[in-house]
Amino acid sequence: VQLVQSGVAVKKPGESLKISCKASGYTFANYWIAWVRQMPGSGLEWMGIIAPRDSDTRYGPSFQGQVTISVDKSLTTAYLQWDTLKASDTAMYYCARPRSELGVDGFDIWGQGTVVTVSS
């Protein structure tokens, strides 16, 4: 069971970006996938969560309207997307999966993280 994230992204302000989280080793449709932001030198921030079986998506209030979370079930991949990047989006982004099938409890499977740098 693993989540493998896409590589480092270096972008300019105003550009768009879509990072990915490829799941393997389990039934993708049966487990929620969450995204978590960690800005340099800071703590963990909950961005949102998606249910791959029906794409039911819930965003944290700070991230609603700022990012889009989606999945492609055929590729067993979750995505985090920005239409217009800002310098303040510079951070490490993690995807994570909970322990329980069809529910949410402790997140025991994490991707390795994707570094996003936004700079002019």
Partner 1 sequence: DIQMTQSPSSLSASVGDKVTITCQASQDISDFLNWYQQKPGKAPKLLIFEASNLEVGVSSRFSGSGSGTHFILTINSLQPDDSATYFCQQFENLPFSFGPGTKVEIK
Q: Residue 14 or residue 103: which is nearer to partner 1 going by CB?
A: 103
Distance of closest approach, residue 46 Cβ to partner 1, in angstroms:
4
Distance of closest approach, residue 76 Cβ to partner 1, in angstroms:
19
Distance of closest approach, residue 15 Cβ to partner 1, in angstroms:
26
Q: Residue 53 or residue 113: which is nearer to partner 1 going by CB?
A: 113
Q: Residue 65 or residue 74: which is nearer to partner 1 going by CB?
A: 65
Distance of closest approach, residue 80 Cβ to partner 1, in angstroms:
15
In angstroms and rounded to an integer, the radius of gyration of the C-alpha atoms of the chain is 14
Query: Is residue 113 packed enough to be buried (19+ CB in 10 Å), middle (13-18) or exposed (0-12)?
Result: middle
Taking the C-alpha atoms of residue 56 and residue 44, their distance in angstroms, rounded to an integer, is: 23
Do residues 37 and 49 lie in contact, with contact meaning Cβ atoms separated by under 8 Å? Answer: no
Question: Which parts of this chain interact with partner 1 (CB under 8 A)?
Answer: 34, 36, 43-46, 48-49, 58-61, 94, 96, 99, 104-108, 110-113
**C-alpha closest to that of 32 among 93, 79, 92, 100:** 100
Q: Residue 29 or residue 104: which is nearer to partner 1 going by CB?
A: 104
Q: Which stretch of DSSP H or E encloses residue 3? A: strand 2-5
